[in-house]
Each structure stands twice: as structure tokens, then as C-alpha cells.
Amino acid sequence: MTALRSYPIIGAVIAQLVAGAVLIAIRLVFAGVIDAALLFWAGLAIQCVAAAMVTRMLGLPVWWVWIGLGFPVALALGLNAGEMPAWPFGAAFVLLYLFFSNTARERVPLYLSNSQTAEALVSLMRQRGAIRFTDLGSGLGGVVRRLDGDGRVARGVESAPMVWLISLLLSKISARGRISRQDIWAADIAGEDIVYAFLSPEPMPALYQKARREMKPGSLLVSNSFAVADVAADEVWELPDRRNTRLFLYEMKG
Ligand SMILES: C[S@@+](CC[C@H](N)C(=O)[O-])C[C@H]1O[C@@H](n2cnc3c(N)ncnc32)[C@H](O)[C@@H]1O
């Protein structure tokens, strides 16, 4: 299971293989009984659903379930597309890169904090009388826009080009928050009262070390969902939302 957590692609391949085995068994039973075209479409549906179910059973994150569901359809479309121009694939690749460049590089996909989490962060800042807030890897900037104002100064740091551009525009239009196109590892967090991150397990140890090196005593690193391995959080907030969001709070000591 640790291997699957580190390399979820292995789980995704296992899921497709298991689904493929189920499909072969069903095709053997129904070959000659059901019309060939119907068998093809039914088989495709079975492959998709079975792969998604196995992915779920393996405990992979929810976006892998969607990948398990969609991959057989994409493959079937690709194999049956006949002569197609190459440019749509190139354009799709560039578009995906502009949104998800950090998924391959940092192993951090794009998913967004929900409004309950943003509200919890507002009350955390109020409780502590905190003024300065940074979201490292700010995505579309929703948290930054919610946190900025009422005496609070919120900033987002984002490097995926299109995600940064959209969040910059939304921030300018709403006149809330400041978004920088920057790598989180180069961001100056020395003056922040609260630094928030919703990334993945992968960068958490290095992020914690960065926070310890740079943040002032009494300030907080808050990680959504991903604890720092081998470091006990000072507090864990469990939110009553659908995701059962957990916020891990690490206070910087002197
Ligand atoms: C899971 S999303 C969270 C978005 C936002 N913080 C929220 O909670 O709604 C993580 C974001 O971090 C960005 N990211 C990952 N690694 C980064 C890096 N090294 N520098 C800047 N941004 C990064 C990704 O592009 C993505 O937008």
C-alpha cells in the first residue's frame, strides 16, 4: 500500500488489468450470444466501471477513480479515430501543461479548497489576531480572495501559467488579495502570520523545513489534508464538510 501511495500509477495499471480480466471472462461467456457491436459498447462500459471500482478499492485518491473511468473510453476513441490531424493533440498537451505543469514536476495536482475551509481559515486568523496570510500554491486564488480584507492581507503564490493568470485576473477584478507568479520554494514567508498549503504528501517534509527556517516564532503553517510525516501537529481541525477536511496546524517555535 505504501508503494501505491508513492506510485499511484501502479494501482491504476492494476485496476485496468483486473477490469480487463473481468471483461475477457464476460466476453467468453457472451460471445455469439450477444450482437458484436452491443458487446463492444457493453464491454467498454464494463471496463470503465470495473476499473473505477478497483481503483476505489485500492484506496487511490478520487481523481484516479475518474482517470480509471475515462481511460478506456479515451483509448477506444483513439484506436477507432482513423486518420486524424495531429494538431489537436499538441494543442491539448499545451493546454494541459498550462494548467497542470506542477502535477508532473511537484506531484501536486490542481484541486481547490472548499468554502468551509476558507471560513475555518478566517476564524483561525480572527482567533489569533493574524494579519498576514500566504497560500503557497494558490490555485485559482479562491482562498486568497476570501481571506483578504477586514484588516487582513492575503497573498497567493502560484506557478502554473494559466492558473496563475486566471487567479490574477479574478484578484484584480474583485480587488482582493495579491497573486504572484512564483515557485513556492522561492517565496519569502518570513513576515507571514499564517502560511497555508493544500499540496500533496510529497513536498510536505521540505515545506515544513522551509517554514521552520523562515517563519517567525508564533506563526503557523497550516496544511490541508496532508500531515508532515514524523512531526506531531500542534492542533488538528476536523471540518464538518463532505470531504471531512482536516487542517494540520504547526506552530513555529522560537
Ligand atoms: C491542490 S491545489 C490548491 C489550490 C489552492 N491552494 C486551494 O486550496 O484552493 C495546489 C496548487 O499548487 C500549485 N503548485 C504546486 N507546486 C507549486 C510550486 N512549486 N510553486 C507554485 N505553485 C505550485 C499547483 O499549480 C496548484 O495550483
Q: How far, in Å, is the centroid of ligand 1 from the Cα of 140?
A: 9
Q: Are both 122 and 239 inside the same structural domain? A: yes
Q: How many domains does the chain have?
A: 2
End-to-end CA distance of the chain: 37
Nearest atom, ligand 1, residue 156 CA = 6
d(CA 139, CA 132): 19
- The CB of 163 under 6 Å from ligand 1? The reply is yes
d(CA 242, CA 254): 37
**What is the span of the domain harbouring residue 124?**
115-251
- Select from 45, 66, 84 the last residue of a domain: 84
- The CB of 117 under 6 Å from ligand 1? The reply is no
Nearest atom, ligand 1, residue 184 CA = 20
Which residues lie closer than 8 Å to 119 by C-beta, 6 or more apart? 146
> pTM score > 0.85 for this model?
no
- The CB of 147 under 6 Å from ligand 1? The reply is no
Nearest CA to ligand 1 atom 27: 139
d(CA 203, CA 42): 42
CB atoms within 10 A of CB 167: 24
Q: Are both 59 and 181 inside the same structural domain? A: no
Nearest CA to ligand 1 atom 9: 112
Residue 89 is assigned to a structural domain of this protein: no
- The CB of 8 under 6 Å from ligand 1? The reply is no
Tens place of pLDDT for every residue, the chain, 254 residues? Answer: 667 766 778 889 999 999 999 888 888 887 777 777 787 888 899 999 999 999 999 988 788 899 999 999 988 887 877 777 778 778 888 888 788 777 766 767 778 999 999 999 999 999 999 999 999 999 999 999 999 999 999 999 999 999 999 999 999 999 999 999 999 999 999 999 999 999 988 899 999 999 999 999 999 999 999 999 999 999 999 999 988 999 999 999 97
How many Å is the Cα radius of gyration of the chain? 22
Residue 110 is assigned to a structural domain of this protein: no
Q: Are both 120 and 34 inside the same structural domain? A: no
